[in-house]
Structure 1
């Protein structure tokens, strides 16, 4: 179903024709900017208090639209194109034409799961908070409100099993099942091989990251991201679309997301990158064990300078933890874990972190300045919001995947070494 509206901007009085495509979400927030003056215009369908802000509703407009006014297409589930009004050329029909029915229903299944999960946001937050507070009684009580998740016993391994069912429940519509399985199923085999081939150093590595609190802190860092991902489930929806078509299609293409803006999302991408940055220390230790039988021993190409002298930052895993993100990636040589480089954009992250960007809401174009230029702003890069949301989605997938590595290390400590996570 589609609803057609005509709005008059409160600031410049520009008339804007708007076609709103309905999804199955019971509450549907929409937002866009006036094409003439950038006034933020928003409304919510499905709430009695979903009042229109930034514009007034023109009741006696001409239908169908005659093309004299600016035109905006809106739909929560799909990226919508800029352009002139065409009867019948709705975002839904364009999606069916581009995806085909089979891929559309695969996408729809994930969107339906989002419709279910977002309603449980409060329950999810309580479960994660009580786990982090180590309040087992309230953790169990909070679990009762989530479907198909129960605690078998109060043993630590069963508590972690229930926790990871919760994170998998949240992540399911955002991630791809096959990708999740590759590392979550492969990691126990990797640890088993290390345990048999290099027992002493493997135990030493795991005891190090357990005893110094690194593994537990890293888990808590990851857990804090899952409820926040649910906060962005509506602007992420159109980014899921590109799982089913050529991913190059979302690069530098001026299409619109129908809710939220860059300023509400940018900090989350930065925080995802920060947690991923810390996860890479864990990956590096495992990679060093696999390649060189010592979690502290990095490849000579990064460990030694041109004079064949040791570089301080790569003298041990502990010193490596302070290395910047870009250098961390290059130090993990030929890893069995393949990082999605499309997800991690260190230049974009730097531009956000140092508040060096300009966002034009009417076109959803982000211009950021990643270089150190003193007081100047000369070298810039552009991406559209849809591409940014795609990067955010892919980076969440990387963090979630590596959270399964954390799980494997926890089980190795608890079940093999008989050492609980304190």
Structure 2
């Protein structure tokens, strides 16, 4: 059993695909999709399928072994050191569950610009302190909240590294390309690109926390010895694909906009002008690429091509988190989901009325991709944070 206060479980019958669900920790919860077997005598003898459910770890489906609990199975595979670290992150998720409403409210009030309500919510959340209503202190309180929400899902060392490097990049740009850097900042402030991008990022944190049940077992693969990201064969004990599919699409859309910020900074670093892309990438057999004429034009390029058009990026993008075929199939509702095996079949090609070309992925693999993509979004949000503090503390800009 997990230490979560309410534990909903579900799986599907491999014969009829009927969803079976039940909840521990909720007085009025009923077993749905199945009936209790009266007078059942353990142990399981193999006459029926055996499913070992646990919210925090991948589902085990196979032969029943007396005494082989999930704890023993996981610690044997990971070792006690890795298990203990993973368990700490799972406990952090348990902390988030009862305070998530206040955390969500804090982001809502910040986006609304309601400092009275923002201050009241800050006072209710342990670890979030609003020392004054100065813009830098409001941002500090806000990022304390996003840090709390993201900490179980992200890698601390990576967060610390990018938080340290991002301000140094801006200081170098101000020393070497001051006028063009300030011109870049002025442009993303005047067209509200920075504000809109920041708000888009903030909207993703509550969605992630609200889906913690799906992401709990995906954390296991941070510690497992091997991982085939494209086809992790494991299953999970709760949450269905329909409740999670749009989150990956939302992550990809926001990350695509973040790449525009990355491209602008990269162009400044390489060529001293946010609008100047690598000349060799601009030319094609038919002429000049329209999407590389300026940073504004680049914003309209699709995610897959954006990554290809950034030369030797200062920010290393985790390409394994990005699956444009999957994103497009979700966006156009071209997929099937088999509940019992938790396998997603998606059809990303334009085939008229036919559906012949397809790809398959396990639901666990899909959630793992979503987790990795969120980490990318969160990492770039540290660069957004550095940009905002640059505006407020160094350039004295109104954001």
The aligned counterpart of 1:336 is 314
| CA distance in structure 2 between the aligned counterparts of 1:110 and 1:59, rounded to whole angstroms | 38
| CA distance in structure 2 between the aligned counterparts of 1:238 and 1:325, rounded to whole angstroms | 28
- Whether the 8 Å contact between 1:150 and 1:162 is mirrored in structure 2 is yes
Where 1:58 maps in the other structure, the secondary structure is coil
CA separation of 1:256 and 1:276: change in aligned 2, threshold 3 A: same
Q: Answer 1 or 2: which has greater strand percent.
A: 1
| CA distance in structure 1 between the aligned counterparts of 2:189 and 2:23, rounded to whole angstroms | 47
| CA distance in structure 2 between the aligned counterparts of 1:214 and 1:356, rounded to whole angstroms | 31
Where 1:30 maps in the other structure, the secondary structure is strand
The aligned counterpart of 2:342 is 364
Counterpart check, 1:63 vs 2:42: yes
Residue number among 346, 368, 389 corresponding to 2:324 in the alignment: 346
Cα RMSD after superposing both structures: 1.2
Consecutive unaligned residues in structure 1, runs of 5 or more: 1-21
- Whether the 8 Å contact between 1:82 and 1:254 is mirrored in structure 2 is no
Residue number among 202, 207, 225 corresponding to 1:246 in the alignment: 225
CA separation of 1:247 and 1:319: change in aligned 2, threshold 3 A: farther
| CA distance in structure 1 between the aligned counterparts of 2:38 and 2:379, rounded to whole angstroms | 50
Counterpart check, 1:413 vs 2:391: yes
- Whether the 8 Å contact between 2:53 and 2:60 is mirrored in structure 1 is no
Counterpart check, 1:288 vs 2:271: no
Using the TM superposition, name which of 403-412 and 80-89 deviates more: 80-89
CA deviation profile, 1:267-314 (whole Å, cap 9, x unmatched): 01100110001101000000100111110011123222236x422211
Q: How many residues are aligned here?
A: 399
CA separation of 1:247 and 1:350: change in aligned 2, threshold 3 A: farther
- Whether the 8 Å contact between 1:156 and 1:420 is mirrored in structure 2 is no
The aligned counterpart of 1:86 is 65
| CA distance in structure 1 between the aligned counterparts of 2:337 and 2:226, rounded to whole angstroms | 23
| CA distance in structure 1 between the aligned counterparts of 2:70 and 2:358, rounded to whole angstroms | 31
- Whether the 8 Å contact between 1:289 and 1:295 is mirrored in structure 2 is yes
| CA distance in structure 2 between the aligned counterparts of 1:236 and 1:82, rounded to whole angstroms | 19
The aligned counterpart of 2:380 is 402
| CA distance in structure 2 between the aligned counterparts of 1:302 and 1:341, rounded to whole angstroms | 20
- Whether the 8 Å contact between 2:8 and 2:24 is mirrored in structure 1 is yes
- Whether the 8 Å contact between 1:254 and 1:363 is mirrored in structure 2 is no
- Whether the 8 Å contact between 2:245 and 2:330 is mirrored in structure 1 is yes
Residue number among 90, 109, 112 corresponding to 1:133 in the alignment: 112
The aligned counterpart of 1:299 is 278
Cα distance, 1:254 vs. partner? 2.6
Cα distance, 1:84 vs. partner? 2.1
Consecutive unaligned residues in structure 2, runs of 5 or more: none
Counterpart check, 1:384 vs 2:335: no
The aligned counterpart of 1:23 is 2
| CA distance in structure 2 between the aligned counterparts of 1:136 and 1:253, rounded to whole angstroms | 45
The aligned counterpart of 1:213 is 192
The aligned counterpart of 2:96 is 117
| CA distance in structure 2 between the aligned counterparts of 1:215 and 1:403, rounded to whole angstroms | 11
TM-score by length of 1: 0.92
Where 2:52 maps in the other structure, the secondary structure is strand
